[in-house]
């Protein structure tokens, strides 16, 4: 179950890094798109945004490399994602707190 939660949350971390590297306008990120838009208005801020974008790309590449290495190690122990998701479903279904939370939400 721990591995399944790890891969799930780390996947969101990688997605967040990709969005940060892109820099969607009005999204609060200084990524590629906003950096090049700012470059035409203010050179210094544009260059700082490009440097920030490079760091986000580096962070994303390192995160993808690490999750690939962790997945390779995980698979070498004889585990699989199917087993992990089965364990997650079994433990979440048998958890009394989880069941009570689901009932309260209905």
**8-50 pLDDT tens trace:** 889 999 999 999 999 988 888 889 999 999 999 999 999 999 9
CB 18 within 8 A of CB 7: no
pLDDT of residue 95: 63
pTM over 0.85: no
pLDDT of residue 102: 57
- What confidence category does residue 59 fall into, taking pLDDT thresholds of 50, 70 and 90? very high
The pair phi, psi for residue 66, each rounded to 5°, is: -65, -40
Taken as a whole, the chain contains a residue count of 106
pLDDT of residue 73: 84
């Amino acid at each position: 179950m721990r591995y399944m939660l790890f891969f799930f949350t780390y996947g969101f971390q990688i997605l967040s890094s990709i969005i940060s590297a892109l820099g969607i306008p009005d999204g609060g990120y200084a990524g590629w798109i906003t950096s090049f838009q700012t470059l035409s208005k203010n050179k210094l801020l544009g260059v700082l945004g490009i440097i920030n974008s490079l760091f986000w790309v580096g962070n994303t590449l390192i995160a993808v490399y690490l999750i690939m290495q962790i997945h390779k190690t995980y698979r070498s122990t004889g585990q699989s994602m199917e087993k992990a998701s089965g364990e997650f479903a079994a433990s979440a279904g048998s958890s009394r707190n989880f069941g009570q939370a689901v009932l309260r939400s209905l």
